[in-house]
């Protein structure tokens, strides 16, 4: 499977929201190594949320490394003297919001980077899948708490 979203995307639980969904459309990504989508319609109850526009974006993008790094040659001692290189993947979400009355929208963002040690994708792919699985599961469980914390700064 590749990075692909189906529409609508079911949102995570949030305080004050009922069954949030997000209709998305593919968008051109600003770089060749990524995919991007914009939110074109909302579902469920989420009063005050707006869809994507030029002045108030609501988009998400996924980026892969521009050049996948591989393991270097083994040194005379049987190790990797230069260390194990990392392949870094990124997820970036941005959302415009109005900071105060009579103001223009300002863009907030969420950025997540995922680093995979070179070679582990072939030697221990289950470990990488386990890392991704726990990450997504934890975010799903924490969705409402994250939204509350971003609004109140209380954990």
Give the CATH number of the domain where residue 127 resides.
Answer: 2.40.160
The answer to whether position 77 is within a domain reads: no
The answer to whether position 78 is within a domain reads: no
Over residues 26-35, the mean pLDDT reads 93
- Domain range for 128: 9-64+83-152
The answer to whether position 97 is within a domain reads: yes
> Do 12 and 143 form a contact (C-beta atoms < 8 A)?
yes
52-80 per-position pLDDT tens digit: 999 999 999 999 999 999 998 888 887 88
The dihedrals phi and psi of 76, each to the nearest 5 degrees, come to: -65, -20
Over residues 111-128, the mean pLDDT reads 94
The answer to whether position 118 is within a domain reads: yes
Structurally, the chain folds into a number of domains equal to 1
Tell me which residue of 37, 40, 29, 53 sits closest to 5, measured CA to CA: 37
Whether the predicted pLDDT of 118 surpasses 90: yes
The answer to whether position 99 is within a domain reads: yes
The answer to whether position 2 is within a domain reads: no
pTM: 0.87
Per the structure block, which two tokens stand in for 92? 């970036």
The answer to whether position 76 is within a domain reads: no
């Amino acid at each position: 499977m590749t990075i692909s979203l189906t529409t609508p995307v079911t949102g995570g639980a949030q305080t004050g929201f009922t069954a949030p969904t997000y209709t998305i459309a593919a968008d051109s990504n600003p770089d060749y190594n990524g995919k991007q989508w914009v939110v074109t319609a909302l579902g469920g109850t989420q009063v005050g949320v707006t869809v994507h526009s030029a002045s108030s974006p609501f988009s998400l993008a996924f980026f892969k490394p521009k050049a996948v790094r591989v393991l270097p040659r083994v040194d005379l001692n049987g190790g990797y003297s230069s260390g194990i290189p990392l392949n870094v993947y990124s997820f970036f979400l941005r959302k415009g919001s109005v900071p105060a009355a009579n103001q223009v929208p300002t863009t907030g963002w969420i950025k997540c980077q995922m680093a995979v040690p070179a070679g582990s994708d072939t030697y221990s792919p289950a470990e990488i899948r386990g890392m991704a699985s726990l990450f997504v599961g934890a975010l799903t469980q924490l969705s409402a708490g994250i939204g509350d914390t971003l609004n109140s700064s209380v954990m």
